[in-house]
Every structure is written in C-alpha cells, then in structure tokens.
Structure 1
C-alpha cells in the first residue's frame, strides 16, 4: 500500500491564521517546515489572534517574495501589499501568549503594525519567533522533546486527499482543502487510513503520527470571503462520523526529523502502525 501513496501538496503559512501558499519543495526544521507560522498577530494585551475570534483574518493573503512574503487584503486593493522578511531582528522584544504558553518574541517594524491595524480596523502587532525560543510540544506525547512554532500544538499537519473526497460526498456544498490548513497533503490509500499510522517517511524524511487533529470553528470559515457557514459545515457533518475523545478529528498531527527536504511527488512509506 505504501508504494501507492504520494506527497501531492506542501503548504506554508508564514503568519499564523493568515493565508498560506503552496510550494513544490520545503525544508524540514526542528519546529516544522521552514518559515511556517514563525510570525503571529497579537492584540493590545499581546494575546494571539486567530480566525476563531477574527474570521476577517482570512481576507489577508500571503504570497512568496524574495527573502520574505507579501501580505495583501482581498477586498481592499487600495492598500499596497506589505512586505515582511522571513525573519525579524531583535531590536524590540515582548512576551506574547499563545494558548497556555507564554513566550518571548521579536516585534516587526512599526510600519507593519500600522498596515495591519489599518487593514483589520483594530490595533494589532506582528511578532516573530526567534530560533532561540523553545516552545515545546506537549511532553506527554513528545518523547523526542520536539519544538513547535506558533502552530497550535504540533510541527506538522497531514491530510489525505481521499479523506477530503469522502467528506465532500457527505456535504451539500463541497469544501476545498484550505479549510483545514494542512502542511502536507498526500494521495492514495483509503480515507482515514492514516488514523492507524505510527512511523512513516516521506521521501527519506522520517515522521511520527502523534494524534488526530481535533477541528474547530475555523473549518467553517470560507477562506475567500471570511464568511462562516450558516449550517456549521463541514464541522457539523464531520462530528456525525469523526467524533473522538479529543474532538472531531480530521488529519494527523506529526512530529518529524530535525532536518530534511521534502518535494511534491515524494513517495510516502508507512513503516509501522499503532
């Protein structure tokens, strides 16, 4: 079975909860794909902002640029795109809160905060996670002492195309993969077969499937319009057949090697099952 599994998508989200973009190759690092979720928006109290509370964040698109990326507003073309480098400088430091974690971060340039505040209509700050920050994955499920960026809980999220196809057969209106914001997408195999994976590799890079990803209201937000589904889908439908102890599951949280390189088209090989 493993020979028929193929990596078909690689996605980066440089700023947590803003738009992402596809790449054909990506480097694996100790805290996820290089450049993934290293930036974060925080409010005036330095608490993290996501589409859960602020669905309008979906209207901020991100596109690759030389040594960084461009942020644009889907509905406000008069705002010229904002360039953000892949890394910040340690000129201004503050402590930020993401979930139950308190960590320090470097602030972006003042003009970035000004642009984002204007684009969103409320005060916010953009901050960066330095390589010196050690935000650890849940120790109970992290024997390798893995780190994570500003992602919710784990360095990587994997979803199979077959799982999305199965979900869409159950929905009145199909949804695209971007509702679930994966880093890694693969083709082949049966829907949800990855529930049983433990150790596997993509190309020659090893990964471990830690747990299923419990989904939230973000999946109900159209990433083009920032509108929420009035029916609560796809979350409502997922809950009818993918409910488990730790939530409504879709996709797998992963930990991985400290280094490596992934390419679209790499073979996915399952080495052991739970």
Structure 2
C-alpha cells in the first residue's frame, strides 16, 4: 500500500522544518507552512541559498506565537499580531505581491546574526500572492507551489547512486510517501489522500539548496546530490528534477499512514540518461586564471567550486546549470561540461557545470 510516511511544515522559509502527524490543507499550503520569510529591506526574498546558516534555525509556532532559536543564547519569541498592518511590496523569483513586516526588535535579531540589514515578513491574514500558471491558487512564501511530494523509494534510489550520505530533509518536502516504486510519482496526475484531492502540476526543479547538509548547514562535496541527479534526472534544458509540485483542490486533514489513491495518471516526463564521465584515479593539477588572478586548480571540481575555495566570488543562484548567473567566457583552454546546457554561445560557459581539463583562462561576460 502506498501511504504517507512523513509530513513537514516550514513556518519560516529556509529554516528547519517541523514534523507533524496530522496537517490541515489550506488555500496556500498546510497551515503555518512558509508563512514567514526573511527579506532584503526592499522586499526581495532571502533564503539558505545565500545564507546556509538559516538551516540551523529551529522554529515552532503555537497559534500566533512564534519561537525561533539558533542556540541557547540566541532565541526570540514574537506574536504575529505585532507585525505592521500595512502591506509592503515583496518579491520571490520575480513574482511581486505584498506582505507585512515584523517589529524592529525582531528584524534586529536576525540582522545581527546575519551581519546584514534584513526584515522578517509575514504573509498576513489574506494571501496576496498568485503565480502565472495558476492565478486562482493562493501561494505563501514557497518557491512556486503550495505542496511538495517526495517518494521515499526515489530518495533511496538516489542515495544508492550518490557517493555522499544524504538526508531526505535536504529536499524540503511537505509530504513524504512510502510503498511506491522509485519515481512512480512521475506518472501520477491526480491523487487522493484522506479526504483531500491533489493535482500534481509539475516536477520540482532542484537547486543548490539540496547540496547543503540539513544538520551542519555546510555544502556536501562535489555539488552532491545534484551531480548524481544530473545523470538520470536532467531534461533537455539541463533542469534537474526531484519530487513533485502539487496543489490541493479542497480543504481537509491528512495524517501519517493515510493511503495514497491514484485517481489519474499521465505520461511521465522524459529525462536524458547519461553515464558519468570517466574519472581518472589521480587528480591532475592545473591553473585557473580569472581576470587578474591565477589560482591552482584540478580536473575534478567545477570551476565555481574552485574559485570559491580561493575567495573569488561569482554570482549564482542554482549551481545546477539552470539560472545561468555563473556564466563566464572561456578565453583559453578546454573544459568538460557536466550538462549540454553548460556551453553557451560566444565561448560562454557555466562555471557551476564545467570542470577544467587543464590550464584555463576565463573572464566575466562584461569583459569577454
């Protein structure tokens, strides 16, 4: 029997989740799921992609009382009623809407820990956010959809392939199921859990957040598990999927051990299956010249990783060859591309998805 194994909510975006035995579905997701998030003063969202230490924050919420702690000496309690009544401009992935700002003492608490000026925001009593694909469906501060389903068997398959020890919490799912075959969820279109019907709208495209250890908040080696996933879960555009985004048709209650009923199926998305490139037993050293700096490199790590190890920062968002922000111009040398999408026009390459074959020289696009 296919059933629910675990249920999670994440009251504050990018912070630790709370395991539940029962959850109530609402307009924008489970009750209290991603109703709070940190932002820049201008309202643009902040996540653990930029600040991995956010994953260490523990949260709890009882009615309107929220408790947040990083350690025994760094904790704060506040009430949602303390938030400003005015609706302030807010942005997530180019999606613009409004939210309410926390009182000064709360913002100062997080700003001091992150060493930058930030604000905590609440979705408010009424969700104002909508997305283009489903304008009738309210969304909280989740990246794009109210619910994320993960299949435990799919995770176990990935773990068997991946050289690094993984934790399913790295994928930040809301509903984790058991009893299905690996990636059976790819072919589901509509499911019923308890009294709630869910539509599976698309696979979830994964980013750098999955490469950060859920306990230590430190990145795993070799950009795992994205590096492994790209060999069997990447599409023609290089997007890497794991898990399924869902919306709920109705309100209701679901619980651990509830049966999953498949109401409608669909043709599964096609993924490009490739084999990992042959890795030589010995690391070959090389040099990486980026503009006016030359560093010692190797033929095993991505260009982005090696630059970061030498305190050379490139912009990025996904680290999986999707966003394109880490684009550089290859002036000299050769590289091995981990995905087809890593090589662009005019000698541009994605630093997150390319490994040097030998000495290389690269420049930022504005100079190239």
Deviations 1:84-103 (A, max 9, x none): 44666443442111111121
Residue 114 of structure 2 corresponds to which residue in structure 1? 120
Query: Is residue 138–residue 153 contact of structure 1 (8 Å, CA) maintained in 2?
Result: no
1:84-233 residue pairs with structure 2 within 5 A?
84-85=78-79, 89-139=83-133, 142=134, 145-233=136-224
Of 6, 12, 15, the residue aligned with 2:12 is 15
- Quick one: distance in 2 between partners of 1:245 and 1:212? 14
- Quick one: distance in 2 between partners of 1:64 and 1:44? 24
Unaligned runs of 5+ in 1: none
Of 255, 259, 262, the residue aligned with 1:267 is 259
How much has 1:66 moved relative to structure 2? 5.6
- Quick one: distance in 1 between partners of 2:80 and 2:153? 33
Residue 285 of structure 2 corresponds to which residue in structure 1? none
How much has 1:245 moved relative to structure 2? 4.5
How much has 1:221 moved relative to structure 2? 0.6
- Quick one: distance in 1 between partners of 2:190 and 2:81? 32
TM-score, structure 2 length as denominator? 0.68
Query: Could you tell which deviates more after superposition, 168-177 or 89-98?
Result: 89-98
Residue 228 of structure 2 corresponds to which residue in structure 1? 237
Mapped pair 1:72 → 2:66: no
TM-score, structure 1 length as denominator? 0.91
Query: Is residue 87–residue 128 contact of structure 1 (8 Å, CA) maintained in 2?
Result: no
Quote the RMSD (CA, aligned, Å).
1.8
How much has 1:210 moved relative to structure 2? 0.5
- Quick one: distance in 1 between partners of 2:127 and 2:196? 24
Deviations 1:103-147 (A, max 9, x none): 1111112211111112222211001112433322332xx3x8212
C-alpha change, 1:87 and 1:237, in structure 2 (3 Å) is farther
Residue 274 of structure 2 corresponds to which residue in structure 1? none
- Quick one: distance in 2 between partners of 1:268 and 1:56? 35
- Quick one: distance in 2 between partners of 1:22 and 1:85? 22
How many residue pairs get aligned? The number is 265
Query: Is residue 7–residue 175 contact of structure 2 (8 Å, CA) maintained in 1?
Result: yes
Looking at both structures, which has the greater relative contact order when contacts are Cα pairs under 8 Å and sequence separation is at least 6? 1
Unaligned runs of 5+ in 2: 267-368
SS of 2:222's equivalent in the other structure is coil
How much has 1:69 moved relative to structure 2? 3.2
How much has 1:173 moved relative to structure 2? 2.4
C-alpha change, 1:87 and 1:19, in structure 2 (3 Å) is farther
Query: Is residue 89–residue 98 contact of structure 2 (8 Å, CA) maintained in 1?
Result: yes
Query: Is residue 103–residue 133 contact of structure 1 (8 Å, CA) maintained in 2?
Result: no
- Quick one: distance in 1 between partners of 2:110 and 2:124? 21
- Quick one: distance in 2 between partners of 1:175 and 1:69? 29
C-alpha change, 1:187 and 1:86, in structure 2 (3 Å) is farther
